[in-house]
Amino acid sequence: MKERIVRKTPVNKRVFYLCIQVAINAVLIGVVAKVLVGLIDFITNLSFYGRLSFEPASPAGNHLGLLVLAVPVIGAVLVGLMARFGSKAIGGHGIPEAMEKIILEDSRIPPALTFLKPLSAAISIGTGGPFGAEGPIIATGGAFGSLTGQWMHISSAERKIVLAAGACAGMSAIFGSPLAAVLLAIELLLFEFSPRSIIPVVIGCVTGAGMHILLFGSSPVFSMPEIPAPSDSALAAYVVLGLIVGVVAAGVSRSIYLIEDLFEKLPVHWMWWPAIGAIAIGVTGYFAPHTMGVGYDNITYLLGGTWSWRILFSLCVLKYISWAVSLGSGTSGGTLAPLFTMGGGLGAMLGLGAMYLFPSLGIDPATAALAGMAAMFAGASRALLTSVVFALETTGKAHGVLPVLGASVAAYFLSFFLMRGSIMTEKIKRRGVSAPDAYEPDVLQGIRVKTLLSEAGEEEIVTGKPYVYANDDVGLAAEMMGKYHTERLLVREEGDPGKVAGVITAASILRYYSAQKRKEHTYHSPGRTRRIMAQGRKFLFFNR
């Protein structure tokens, strides 16, 4: 039987078809983003003001008094019921759940999540939940991409691309930040950079940004005044600010899962956990109404550069309390906006303190807030490039590049040493799922089959085992071995298929792969090499 993996459609045509699919998906996901924002506004108007309206609204201006304590609890009860009788997967902040589906379930997301996730998030946020809309729309976009991928019967690798493109198109549709969305896909969802993956993702994100302009407008999501170019002393101060924010980011990430552990010890059904967590939303919302709801206006306020210490404290500390407790309870909501709000509040306070103590540094308060925002997300999520580009894309301030980059790198640096995972990966890590922590090229794609040839036996030539060509990459050979459950493949010459060049074995592939990985993890100084060789000779002498 002479068989070989044959791509019925050339790779470039497959990519073309994926591009069409993700572009159509992105248009629909942009509409879903608009509907989600409108639904949040509708529920906010109804819950806090008793009116039927889709006009933009914030819980901050409510006059409910003590009744405000009940609104988040009612919303959380509804979310708990949806999770109990619909899908428990509606809880969480979106990205970890998408990562888990990619790693464990071949990027298959249940169709119900496409509808339940945005509805549960709208109820949670509209009744005062201190979350952003971006997490739910990222999860919804990913679910929609996965659903269409299952309908189209594409491969799991292609379905991963469509899922990531859908998720990041949702982010781009909400914020109008296509480049940051592309980087989010690379850093948190794909861990791959190839034409096959990057072209569809870019098209999805650009289409999502086009839908943002069509449905939300073209101005930056977070407007802020012009900021000055930083001096060298100010830039050093922003780096120190980033180091402090990095420590806080690591603490914030750890605390979320500590709170989750505490909820799991409660002697009540998990359906009621969001309602218990919502008590923290109501209590903090009573004393600080600005901590409730999406809070994108809070980010704009922080970037304005003129604040009161009371509001900074509430947006930094009280917002953290309500967000951490409610998210730890398992309700539905995003993390990006809360992290930006807390980071902006902390950055603003640190900037004001530095201006008071060291006025000669030339720190700009609005720049300090912007740097704090990006640094908090970089430290908590480990998505460094996404954090930097997102801060610049959503504000349109080019002079913020160096302060934001310096603070974000500093926060990322400290976070790397203070915690193993991130706020995005810790959740799935606790379930026994290891998310990739680095982008690495496929070692087996860098070598041709002909470099690992062995001599073919006469019987193998006669039987015509499944074969590859000598110029194929070794990754294809490994794929074939798995498909046909064999440890040896016949190798034929490309120009003369009747001519047998030899065989390639699983053992030779494994030896090559092992040798390449050893090169990555072996660090020898000349002295160290001599000691290792001496130890090897000693071992051989005593074990002859």
Q: What is the pLDDT of residue 371?
A: 95
% of the chain surpassing 70 pLDDT: 83
Q: How far apart are CA 166 and CA 113, in angstroms?
A: 14
In the chain, domain spans: 11-216, 232-268+284-429, 443-538
The answer to whether the 11-216 and 232-268+284-429 domains have the same CATH topology is yes
How distant is the alpha carbon of residue 462 from its chain centre? 52
Residue 287 in tokens: 């004393």
Q: Which residues contact 113 (CB under 8 A, 6 or more apart)?
A: 87, 89, 90, 139, 140, 143
* Residue 488: strand pairing partners: 505
Q: How far apart are CA 476 and CA 315, in angstroms?
A: 53
Do β-strands 488-492 and 500-505 pair in parallel, antiparallel, or remain unpaired? antiparallel
The secondary structure of 196-237, three-state, reads: HHHHHHHHHHHHHHHHHHHHHCCCCCCCCCCCCCCCHHHHHH
Q: What is the pLDDT of residue 27?
A: 94
Answer whether residue 403 shows pLDDT above 90.
Answer: yes
Of the options 3.30.1060.10, 1.10.287.1770, 3.90.470.20, 3.90.1280.20, the CATH number for the domain spanning 443-538 = 3.90.1280.20
Q: How far apart are CA 252 and CA 305, in angstroms?
A: 25
Q: How far apart are CA 93 and CA 83, in angstroms?
A: 14
Kindly state the average pLDDT of the residues 28-38: 91
Q: Which of 24-38, 112-126, 176-190, 289-303 has the lowest mean pLDDT?
A: 112-126
* Residue 304: strand pairing partners: none
Q: Measure the CA dihedral 411/291/128/178, to 10°.
A: -40
- Tens digits of residue pLDDT in 14-24: 788 889 989 99
% of the chain surpassing 90 pLDDT: 31
Categorize the per-residue pLDDT at 203 as very low, low, confident or very high, splitting at 50, 70 and 90: very high
How far are the Cα atoms of 65, 83, 138, 328 from residue 316, in angstroms, in the given order?
Answer: 23, 30, 25, 18
**Residue whose entry in the numeric block shows the structure tokens 């709000």:** 341
Residue 438 in tokens: 């680095």
Q: What is the pLDDT of residue 242?
A: 95
Number of H helices, E strands in the chain: 22, 3
Kindly state the average pLDDT of the residues 222-245: 91
Nearest of 326, 431, 266, 398 to residue 92 by alpha carbon: 326
Q: Which residues contact 277 (CB under 8 A, 6 or more apart)?
A: 76, 263, 325, 326, 327, 328, 329, 330, 331
Q: How far apart are CA 309 and CA 248, in angstroms?
A: 19
> Comparing 198 with 1, which gets the higher pLDDT?
198
Q: What is the pLDDT of residue 522?
A: 56
Kindly state the average pLDDT of the residues 99-105: 63
Answer whether residue 196 shows pLDDT above 90.
Answer: no
- Tens digits of residue pLDDT in 432-490: 666 666 666 667 777 888 888 887 776 666 566 778 888 888 878 888 888 788 888 88
- Answer whether 346's CB lies under 8 Å from 216's CB: no
Helices (H), 445-542: 458-463, 474-484, 506-521, 526-542
* Dihedral sign (CA 27, 30, 36, 39): negative
**Residue whose entry in the numeric block shows the structure tokens 């003001």:** 49
54, amino acid identity: F
Q: Measure the CA dihedral 247/313/40/202, to 10°.
A: -40
- Tens digits of residue pLDDT in 38-48: 999 999 999 99
- Answer whether 56's CB lies under 8 Å from 217's CB: no
**Residue whose entry in the numeric block shows the structure tokens 């659903």:** 147
61, amino acid identity: G
User: What kind and span of H or E run contains 278?
Assistant: helix 273-287
Kindly state the average pLDDT of the residues 133-158: 78
Answer whether residue 254 shows pLDDT above 50.
Answer: yes
Tell me what the pLDDT averaged over the chain comes to: 82
- Tens digits of residue pLDDT in 166-177: 889 999 999 999
Assigned superfamily of 11-216: Clc chloride channel (1.10.3080.10)
**Residue whose entry in the numeric block shows the structure tokens 């398992």:** 330
> Which of 51-60, 147-156, 370-379 ranks highest by mean pLDDT?
370-379
Q: How far apart are CA 257 and CA 252, in angstroms?
A: 9
- Answer whether 116's CB lies under 8 Å from 82's CB: yes
- Answer whether 423's CB lies under 8 Å from 253's CB: yes
Q: Which fold has domain 232-268+284-429?
A: Clc chloride channel (1.10.3080)
- Answer whether 383's CB lies under 8 Å from 184's CB: yes
Q: How far apart are CA 161 and CA 146, in angstroms?
A: 9
Q: Which of 270-279, 435-444, 491-500 has the lowest mean pLDDT?
A: 435-444
